[in-house]
Amino acid sequence: MQWFLTCHTLRFGLPEDPANIRGMASKAGSRPSQAVSPSKRNSAQVTVARRQSTVAADDFFMLAQDQDGYLHLFNARKTEIQALSMEVKVQADARISHKRHFAIVGVMMEALYIKYLCPFKKYVTLDLIGGPRPLQFRYYINMQKGATFFFVLACMAYYDNWSWTAHVYLASTLCFVLSIYQHPSVDHGIYGFIWLLKDITVPDATWQVYLTIPSAIVAVVGLGIYWVAGYIVVAHRVEASPSLGAVCIMMNTLGSTLMLAADTQKYFALKYKKGLISDGWVTWSRNTNYLGEMMLYLSFALLANHWIPYAWLAFVWSMLFMSNMLAKDASLRGDAYMAKAGFLLPNVAGWAAASWSSAPKVVKEA
């Protein structure tokens, strides 16, 4: 606006303030070192000022005749904004499309598991070939869990490997205090003993089914493969770094806590009321117990750092764990709860938002 007023004034009349003219003349290239008479200097300044003002005013009126240069600039910016908005819309549509694709893939995967893999898993693990069913599933599991400590200890003695890595694997869950029995000779236990205590105090009905003899053989072989990680650590004399050992211990501690707490809650909740459990340890994750067990078994595999434990865990998680989790979701659907809680990993964002909104607000007194 100031530039416009200056051009308009110089176009139709000189300003009354000669200081403005002197400033413009000095910018136009006047040489103060040369001696020039005042009348000539004023005449030259006026001529230069008129010439500059005429050029500036002509430029301004050319812009004005061309629908205003600022309008063109605005239109250019408007075009850029529209293009950016279109790009954002395309990206949003792409994200929606990706979410739709993920939802479709999820529905297809769930249908595949429910229709084919879950019945196949049930047949192989429980009803293979048929015939007599001498023992419950939990007895085979308990035998393997309880013998794990002695198996690893025997491997350490046989291979004469008493390294700290072997001891960490042997006592990977020494963090859990067995204070519920208050026995003076028992202060800590390993994971197998923890499982035995859990089965004694809060048994899981999932493992109380009877197996056929072929299914029992499959169970024994499958449970035995879990010992491969311990065998590799001892027989191959694996030397893990202290940092990796610390990570494995932390994962095992947290995993054991999640598994025990979630299974204990499930036992007492289902004891008094059947149905969907959506609070407590499963508020933000629908499968906290499976998450805990996956963490502690992953800690064993990380300590061994061999492809066989990784491959076996991937198979067990994709076939057994995933089948059980999807079957549970299919039988006990709660749309609001499923939208709120994560399938396996906890919904940390939802938890943070709920905690923030429910936090008490401090009201300052006037």
Could you tell me which residues are beta bridge partners of residue 285? 342
121: Cβ–Cβ under 8 A, 6 or more apart, which residues?
319, 320, 323
Q: What is the pLDDT of residue 181?
A: 34
Three-class SS of residue 14?
coil
Contact at 8 Å (CB) between 325 and 343?
yes
Using left for φ > 0, alpha for ψ between -120 and 50, and beta otherwise, residue 177 falls in beta
156: Cβ–Cβ under 8 A, 6 or more apart, which residues?
162, 166, 170, 234
Report which of 273, 155, 143, 159 is spatially closest to residue 219, judged by C-alpha positions. Answer: 143
Note the Cα 287 to chain centre separation in Å.
16
User: pLDDT tens per residue, the chain (366 residues)?
Assistant: 444 444 444 444 444 444 444 444 444 444 444 454 555 555 555 454 555 544 444 444 444 445 455 555 556 666 766 677 677 666 666 666 666 777 787 788 888 999 999 999 999 999 999 999 999 999 999 998 888 888 999 999 999 999 999 988 888 744 433 333 333 223 333 677 888 889 999 999 989 999 999 999 999 999 999 999 999 999 999 999 999 989 998 998 899 999 999 999 999 999 999 888 999 999 999 999 999 999 999 999 999 999 999 999 999 999 999 999 999 888 887 778 888 999 999 999 888 888 887 665 555 554
The residue type found at 267 is Y
Distance CA 26, CA 32 (A): 8
For the residues of 245-290, what is the DSSP string, one character each? HHHHHHHHHHHHHHHHHHHHHHHHHHHH--S---SGGGSSBTTHHH
Distance CA 315, CA 322 (A): 10
Three-class SS of residue 177?
strand
pTM of the model: 0.68
Distance CA 141, CA 134 (A): 14
User: For residue 317, what is the DSSP state?
Assistant: I
Residue in the block written with tokens 């057994």: 320
199: Cβ–Cβ under 8 A, 6 or more apart, which residues?
138, 141, 142, 207
* Tokens, residue 318: 């994709």
Could you tell me which residues are beta bridge partners of residue 210? 136
DSSP collapsed to 3 states, 125-171:
HHCCCCCCCCCEHHHHHHHHHHHHHHHHHHHHHHCCCCCHHHHHHHC
Task: Please report, for the chain, the start and end positions of each structural domain, with discontinuous segments joined by +.
Answer: 2-65, 71-126, 132-344
Rounded to 5°, angle at Cα 307 from 305 and 310: 85
Contact at 8 Å (CB) between 285 and 337?
no
Distance CA 222, CA 233 (A): 19
Distance CA 44, CA 50 (A): 10
